[in-house]
Amino acid sequence: MNGAFRMMEIEAERFFLRSVIGGNPITVIRKRACTDADIDELHALFGYEGAP
């Protein structure tokens, strides 16, 4: 956690996940090794079904 910006960052093998503390949306940054299947799996974990 970065206290100066009140931001939480989680680094995984295929992504960086960032969010400002306080319930703001999560930013997902793909790494080079990230595949379309990895994106599909992340969407399933988050319950994302596509834009309305």
CB contact set of 18 (below 8 Å; sequence gap of 6+): 7, 8, 9, 10, 26, 27, 29
Q: How many domains is the chain built from?
A: 1
Report pLDDT digits (tens) over 13-52. Answer: 999 999 988 777 889 999 999 999 999 999 999 898 887 7
What does the pLDDT read at residue 1? 57
What is the C-alpha to C-alpha distance for residues 7 and 21, in angstroms, rounded to an integer? 5
pTM of the model: 0.68
| Alpha-carbon torsion, ordered 8, 25, 40, 48, to 10 deg | 140
Domain ranges, residue 14: 7-46
Q: Is residue 2 part of a domain?
A: no
43: which 2 tokens?
């969407």
What is the C-alpha to C-alpha distance for residues 26 and 19, in angstroms, rounded to an integer? 5
